Amino acid sequence: MIVVGVIIALLVLMMIVTGLHWASMPPSRVETVDVKTLHLKGEFVESNLGTTLAPDGKVVVRLIAQQYSFVPQCIVVPADMPVTFRGTATDAIHGFVVGTTNANTMLVPGFVATFTTTFKKTGEQLMPCHEYCGTGHEAMWGRVEVVPPQEFIAKARSGERLTCVPR
């Protein structure tokens, strides 16, 4: 009885401590976005999706996930440069992982997922959806083309949104 009592007391204590911790320190950088106007205005309109090179040298990839594809379907990024991904979903919870790299996140409707990573190797990587999002889940994937930094900078200079989707 004493042992069981101690275990229960420990579990209750854990709940109180984690509850207080989350209440006093909520997760930082929660960014929300309106799903209803996602395609119409703001950061995630179609013309703004893809990879950009900012004047200060920051590389940002913007993408959206929807049943059952990513936009853009093929993403160009430079090797050996920090790349920031900003993504969201339009309909259900999706996610993606880029090959065997540490680029991995969930995409939740209404929220902007963001992370920064550096790709070490050039070449093509597969980018499958890794959250079950419906009957087409296993057919949902994109591609990531990691190109040498010089090649990327030469391409990106025009200031447009880069993708490797065939036109």
Residues ≥6 apart with Cβ < 8 Å to 44: 33, 38, 62, 64, 88
Residues engaged in binding ligand CUA (CB under 6 A): 65, 68, 94, 129, 131-133, 137, 140
Nearer to ligand CUA, 66 or 125 (CB): 66
What type of residue sits at position 140? M
Nearer to ligand CUA, 138 or 160 (CB): 138
Residues in the chain: 167
The least distance separating ligand CUA from the CB of residue 161, rounded to whole angstroms, comes to: 22
The least distance separating ligand CUA from the CB of residue 131, rounded to whole angstroms, comes to: 5
The least distance separating ligand CUA from the CB of residue 54, rounded to whole angstroms, comes to: 29
Nearer to ligand CUA, 110 or 149 (CB): 110
Q: Which of 137, 145, 138 is nearest to 51 (CA)?
A: 145
Rounded to 10 degrees, what is the CA torsion of 103, 109, 114, 118?
20
The least distance separating ligand CUA from the CB of residue 157, rounded to whole angstroms, comes to: 33
Token pair of 31 as six digits: 């960014």
Nearer to ligand CUA, 140 or 144 (CB): 140
| 109 cis-preceded (ω within 30 degrees of 0) | no
